[in-house]
Structure 1
Amino acid sequence: MFFSLKSLSITMAFLRLVVANIQDVQTRAAADNTQERRISYDPDLQQQLTFPLFELADPVTTINPTDANFGISAVAPGRFLTSADGTKIFTEARGDPSNPAIVFIHGYGHGAMVFDDIFNDPLWLNRVYLVRYDTRGHGRSDKPTNAAAWVSQRLAEDFDAVVQSYNLIRPFVLGWSLGAVQIADILSFHPPSYISGAIYDAGVPYLASLPNVTSPAASAVIPGLNETTNVTEFQSSYIDFINLCHPALEWDFYLGCLGDGIVQPRAILNLSFSRTQNSTGLLQAGTSGALSALAIFGGDDRIVLNQGILDAIAGWQNLTVVTLPDAEHFTWISRPVLFRATVLNWIGA
């Protein structure tokens, strides 16, 4: 009898803990929803929490790329694809493939792990098919340091490999920060109809626009990011860079961002910033009205200059511009509910 009462007591305590956790989640979700209520199209968050969860993630893959610069041994959900020139590209997809697809392209110095909050969010997973990859030179992908591996066509071929592997038909492309320049690479070798729309999340439109869209604070840390002899200067500059992206990140995520910088050869910075790129296809797609675009800005972004980005794509016909109040360069971390509502409503998911 004593054992039964003890078991009952433990069970009741566990149930009370579960109920308390659910109430806490509901309270925080409701508060977050209230905070973002300023946008009328944001659906009721409490109702969204009852949606079924689809998370068809790639199987766990051992990470040990043939990269001569760094041998990385780890595991992660995802798989390697081989680009046209033989470069191994690490990719992952989650969600229901029958939903509209969004391919996420991260910025310089980070890997696709920066989108973890989105890829782990059931409210995203129930509405869209999420695809991401470590671009060449970053994260778990190969890191070639020869100039031939960084011509515009190679970047476009990496995207093509992702599209083909996941059987994507006219996906939306979300380019964050410097990752957004790869939309110009894609449209240099494909018509605008290859994708459904371009989402510039604090995104640099094309490489030639860099001098006009980079903030003075971000420009000041770039020399240190390229430092090859002074370890202290490189470390300090990379920490400053992460803090400019967001001054208050969760510790594990913060370490992940720093780790992505450590596994990257210093030569990748010059190759990423100075490679040749043609923006003609991109600008023609926009000014002709053939491609719709969504430009998302953070109200407190300290990396890019919002007006400089808009000036770089002046004349774009089908352009929606949204500024997220108080958001840092990591816009989706700063304002997750508003960011999600902005993207999902724009693509009609």
Structure 2
Amino acid sequence: MDGNPGIRRRAIGLGSAVIGAGLLAATGSRAQPAAVPSAPPTEKAPYNPRFVASPDGVRLATYEFGNPQGPAILFLHGFAQAALSWDRQLRDPALAREFRMVAIDLRGHGMSAKPEGDAFYKPGQVWADDVKAVIAGLGLQRPVLVGWSYAGRVVGDYLTAHGASALAGINYVDASSTLGNAAFFGPDAGLLGPSAMLAPGIDGFIDGTVRFLRSCFATQPDPADFQTMLAFNMLAPHYVRAGLAGRPANYDEVLKALRLPVLVSHGEKDRILTTAMARFTAATVPGATLSLYPESGHAPFWEEPARFNRELAGFVRQVQAAR
């Protein structure tokens, strides 16, 4: 986020317009854990923005960083988030030298189209087709999918509809892969419902988004980064969030049959999805590797980016060597 000044200025400007100084002051006044410091300023990371059309006509915003000749990594963000969530990966110089990195704004999020109606959000097929359209539209050769949080379901939708033959591997990051056990959900999982992210009325909607974002981190982002995150969360309207809610997650048999390298990364201090979810995913997928982050909450790629990026790079190299 702070590593790409052009994107950051636009996001912060939008956040200021949508949220207002009064809200930012109010959220800043709450007692919070120490912040994760912003990364040191770097040169603006060049990227290639492009829209890809899904089969049902939804325009998906994509952003390509890094080495266009390198092995491909496709990043999928979580509920109400955006491609900017992956800032600490997309702007990492070491990753950029070696890999072709693409992040997308899922339908209804970020700069992607936001059509109204459950038909655009409830069926698993539309999410599966979005991923397929981006892989085909950008010519990604056997990418590694990196799916955070809700994107675990998007990955499951893709595998159910299209199989794994076009992929090199999958990295589940604090990701939902099933709805089968209450022990998989942490004390703040309820913030995804009517008490917070789906709260009626503008005041409840904004305050609920703030509370959900705070719960994503064991160590809080600094104020400027949090402002950017809040801005792009507010780009996901209430009807989009409601469309994502209540979808089935029947992926157990797909995971059991998966014959693909899988890395499961998970923060041990996650208050939304517990490590039991990660352990289930790793145990269900044959040969999967589990990597736990003791100091991270729901977003280890943000809270411990050096380790996360190192492990991601090693995983991509491993799966490419095995081809």
Return the letter of the residue paired with 2:169. G
Distance 2:163 2:262 in 1: 15
Return the letter of the residue paired with 1:329. H
Q: Tell me which structure has the larger Cα radius of gyration.
A: 1
Instruction: Identify if the C-alpha distance between structure 1 residues 164 and 103 changes in structure 2 by more than 3 Å, giving closer, same or farther.
Output: same
Distance 2:63 2:253 in 1: 28
User: In 1, are the aligned partners of 2:177 and 2:249 still within 8 Å (CA)?
Assistant: no
The DSSP-based 3-state class of the residue aligned with 1:235 is helix
Aligned length: 273
- Matches for 1:1-349 after TM superposition, within 5 Å: 57-58=47-48, 78-150=49-121, 151-206=123-178, 208-209=179-180, 211-220=182-191, 222-223=193-194, 224-229=196-201, 231-246=202-217, 247-279=219-251, 282-286=254-258, 290-311=259-280, 314-348=283-317
How well do the aligned residues superpose, as a CA RMSD in angstroms? 2.2
Instruction: Identify if the C-alpha distance between structure 1 residues 281 and 194 changes in structure 2 by more than 3 Å, giving closer, same or farther.
Output: farther
User: In 2, are the aligned partners of 1:214 and 1:305 still within 8 Å (CA)?
Assistant: yes
Instruction: Identify if the C-alpha distance between structure 1 residues 106 and 163 changes in structure 2 by more than 3 Å, giving closer, same or farther.
Output: same
Return the letter of the residue paired with 1:158. D
Task: Tell me the TM-score normalised to structure 1 length.
Answer: 0.73
Distance 2:184 2:59 in 1: 31
Instruction: Identify if the C-alpha distance between structure 1 residues 87 and 339 changes in structure 2 by more than 3 Å, giving closer, same or farther.
Output: same
- Structure 1, unmatched stretches of 5+, are 1-52, 59-77
Task: Tell me the TM-score normalised to structure 2 length.
Answer: 0.78
User: In 2, are the aligned partners of 1:199 and 1:293 still within 8 Å (CA)?
Assistant: yes
Return the letter of the residue paired with 2:98. R
Partner residue in 1 for 2:31:
none
- Structure 2, unmatched stretches of 5+, are 1-42, 319-323
User: In 1, are the aligned partners of 2:252 and 2:284 still within 8 Å (CA)?
Assistant: no
Shift of residue 321, structure 1, vs aligned partner:
0.6
Distance 2:208 2:181 in 1: 19
Distance 1:166 1:261 in 2: 26
Return the letter of the residue paired with 1:251. P
Distance 2:222 2:76 in 1: 22
Distance 2:282 2:239 in 1: 29
Distance 2:253 2:63 in 1: 28
User: In 1, are the aligned partners of 2:192 and 2:212 still within 8 Å (CA)?
Assistant: yes
Distance 1:209 1:99 in 2: 38
Distance 2:150 2:192 in 1: 15
